Amino acid sequence: MKNYREMAGLVTLTLLVAGYLSIPTTMKAAETGDSAHISQLLADAKAEAVELKNDSADMESFTRSKLSWESYASKVEMIKGHVNNTGKLLTKLKDAEATGAAWQQTAIKRIEPLLKELAANTEATINNLNENKTKVHFTEFKDYVKANFELATDFEALIRDFVNYGEAKEKVDHLGGKLEVSH
Read off the pLDDT of residues 54-79 as tens digits, 9 standing for 90 and up.
999 999 999 999 999 999 999 999 99
- Tens digits of residue pLDDT in 88-136: 999 999 999 999 999 999 999 999 999 999 999 999 999 999 999 999 9
Encode the chain in three state secondary structure: CHHHHHHHHHHHHHHHHHHHHCCCHHHHHHCCCCCHHHHHHHHHHHHHHHHHHHHHHHHHHHCCCCCCHHHHHHHHHHHHHHHHHHHHHHHHHHHHHHHCCHHHHHHHHHHHHHHHHHHHHHHHHHHHHHHCHHHCCCHHHHHHHHHHHHHHHHHHHHHHHHHHHHHHHHHHHHHHHHHHHHC
Range of the domain at 146: 2-182
Is residue 150 scored above 50 in pLDDT? yes
CATH of the domain at 75: 1.20.120
How large is the average pLDDT for residues 148-174? Answer: 95
Query: Lowest-confidence range among 27-31, 142-146, 153-157?
Result: 27-31
Q: Evaluate if residue 183 carries a pLDDT over 80.
A: no
pLDDT-based confidence at residue 152 (cuts at 50, 70, 90): very high
% of the chain at pLDDT higher than 70: 79
Alpha carbons 55 and 95: distance in angstroms, whole number: 28
End-to-end CA distance of the chain: 48
* Confidence check: pLDDT of 1 > 80: no
Residues contacting residue 129 through CB under 8 Å, at least 6 positions apart:
69, 72, 73, 76, 136, 141
What is the average per-residue pLDDT within 15-31?
46
Q: What is the mean pLDDT of residues 16-29?
A: 46
Residue 35: per-residue pLDDT = 95
Q: What's the number of domains the chain is made of?
A: 1
pLDDT on residue 44:
98
Q: What is the pTM of this model?
A: 0.79
| pLDDT score recorded for residue 28 | 42
How far, in Å, CA of 99 to CA of 86, rounded?
20
Q: pLDDT-based confidence at 19, cuts 50/70/90?
A: low
Q: Which residues contact 158 (CB under 8 A, 6 or more apart)?
A: 12, 110, 111, 114
